[in-house]
């Protein structure tokens, strides 16, 4: 089997799909791995490390994809890569099917098979394949560092000869993987941390990290399938927003992480809540790419309100720490490959829950249930 690793297409993407250590393991198992020249440079993995691991360095897309059986990316591949793939080849990457179902239709038009790392079922035996969790962990950590760098205050309490400095107050909205990592990081930096999530089941996890858990009675449990938060009713959202105004206004830093798969990110921070915050306060919106949890978030940008509140809408935070992000993603991919490979070749068993749930397109046919439903419902691009 021949695996091809192209350069990432997105301009802000510094990660690489497979790191040299993973390549060495695959080569040892009898797999041929080709890496496009320079694919790992931004993640501190130069060509010579791949060559030492046994990979072939390809100078361009045509050399890279010749007879390639499997093309592995982090994000969506470039159009040139997609169009150059053989119809017998398989694509694997974070393809975000529910964020843009029409893209899956486009991939299907190439006649290939496509698997998405962000469609892996959230079941116990697939935990080590969960790339969303590994990358969210990095995003939660980096969000706190960005906030600490922007806040005109210390995070920890300091007692000096000049007096005592009170610790910063940090509020984390959403206690999934990113939120829990943000809580832990903010606590390590000495902040006083509180958190809110619609899923009461995460209360114990929040408290175990030394943070307080904010509770609001919404009249229904906020957990949906697979452990994700589910979309709330308009009445629940309104009640949630009003509850948040006071707590957001009392915070120095607010980090938002709330996402609902396939939906626009819920707006948790209204203009009223932003206006209640003190000058110099910071909002880091990890949901910026999905529209933002703050109504004033500008995806990819840092903005400052007339009241002096800083709103950071930076997207793709894992790519800002590309070396470790690539290592973790590469391990997720390797675990999945070990699951779907047999005797050095792909062996896709569609009776298996993991394989079936991860596969978007099978030889040009869209087979991913949620994507089929989204396309049937006329989901917008």
Active-site position among 37, 103, 188, 228: 228
Active-site position among 37, 102, 103, 122: 122
Active-site position among 29, 127, 207, 363: 127
Identify whether 122 is a catalytic site residue: yes
Q: Give, in order, the Cα–Cα distances in Å from 89 to each of 67, 117, 126, 278.
A: 8, 17, 24, 55
Neighbours of 157 (CB within 10 A): 13
Residues 340-347: contacts with CB within 8 Å, 24+ apart? 340/115, 341/1, 344/1, 344/29, 344/30, 344/31, 345/1, 345/69, 346/1, 346/69, 346/70, 346/90
Distance CA(166)–CA(153), nearest Å, equals 9
Q: Read off the DSSP letter of residue 225.
A: G
Residues 43-47: contacts with CB within 8 Å, 24+ apart? 43/14, 43/15, 43/16, 43/19, 43/322, 43/323, 43/325, 43/326, 44/322, 44/323, 45/16, 45/19, 45/20, 45/323, 45/326
Active-site position among 15, 25, 50, 130: 130
Active-site position among 84, 116, 133, 181: 133
Q: For residue 265, give every residue at least 6 positions away whose Cβ sits within 8 Å of its Cβ, in sequence order, or none.
A: 258, 259, 287, 290, 291, 292, 293
Q: Does residue 235 come out as left (phi exceeding 0), alpha (psi in the -120 to 50 range) or beta?
A: alpha
Q: Which residues pair with 253 in a beta bridge?
A: 170, 282
Q: Give, in order, the Cα–Cα distances in Å from 66 to each of 23, 85, 88, 347, 370.
A: 18, 8, 12, 21, 33
Identify whether 349 is a catalytic site residue: no
Identify whether 207 is a catalytic site residue: no
Give the three-class secondary structure for 91: strand
Identify whether 133 is a catalytic site residue: yes
Give the three-class secondary structure for 189: coil
Return the exposure string of 77-97: e unless at least 16 CB atoms fall within 10 Å of the residue's CB, then b.
Answer: bbeebbebbeeebbbbbbbbb
Which residues are known catalytic residues?
122, 127, 130, 133, 228
């Amino acid at each position: 089997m021949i695996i091809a690793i192209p350069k990432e297409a997105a301009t802000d993407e510094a990660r690489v799909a497979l790191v040299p250590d993973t390549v060495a393991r695959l080569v040892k198992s009898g797999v041929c791995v080709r890496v496009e020249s320079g694919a790992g440079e931004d993640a501190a993995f130069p060509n010579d490390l791949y060559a030492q691991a046994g990979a072939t360095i390809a100078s361009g897309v045509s050399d890279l994809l010749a007879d390639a059986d499997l093309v592995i990316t982090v994000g969506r591949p470039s159009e040139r890569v997609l169009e150059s793939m053989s119809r017998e080849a398989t694509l694997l990457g974070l393809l975000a099917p529910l964020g843009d179902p029409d893209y899956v239709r486009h991939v299907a038009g190439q006649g290939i098979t496509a698997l998405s790392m962000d469609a892996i079922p959230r079941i116990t035996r697939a935990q080590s394949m969960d790339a969303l969790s590994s990358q969210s962990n990095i995003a939660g950590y980096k969000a706190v560092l960005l906030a600490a760098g922007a806040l005109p205050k210390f995070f920890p309490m300091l007692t000096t000869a000049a007096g005592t400095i009170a610790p910063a107050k940090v509020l984390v909205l959403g206690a999934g993987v990113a939120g829990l990592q943000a809580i832990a990081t903010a606590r390590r930096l000495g902040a006083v941390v509180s958190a809110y999530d619609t899923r009461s089941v995460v209360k114990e996890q929040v408290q175990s990290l030394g943070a307080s858990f904010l509770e609001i009675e919404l009249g229904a449990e906020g957990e949906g399938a697979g452990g994700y938060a589910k979309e709330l009713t308009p009445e629940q959202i309104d009640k949630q927003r009003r509850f948040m105004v006071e707590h957001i206004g009392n915070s120095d830093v607010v980090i938002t992480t709330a996402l609902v798969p396939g939906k626009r990110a819920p707006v948790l921070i209204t203009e009223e809540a932003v206006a209640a915050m003190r000058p110099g306060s910071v909002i880091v919106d990890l949901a910026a790419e999905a529209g933002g949890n703050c109504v004033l978030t500008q995806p990819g940008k840092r903005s400052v309100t007339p009241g002096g509140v800083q709103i950071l809408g930076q997207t793709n935070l894992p790519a800002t720490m590309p070396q470790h992000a690539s290592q973790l993603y590469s391990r997720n991919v390797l675990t999945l490959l070990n699951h779907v490979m047999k005797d050095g070749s792909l062996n896709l068993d569609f009776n298996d829950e993991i394989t079936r749930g991860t596969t978007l397109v099978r030889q040009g046919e869209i087979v991913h249930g949620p994507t089929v439903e989204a396309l049937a419902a006329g989901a917008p691009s």
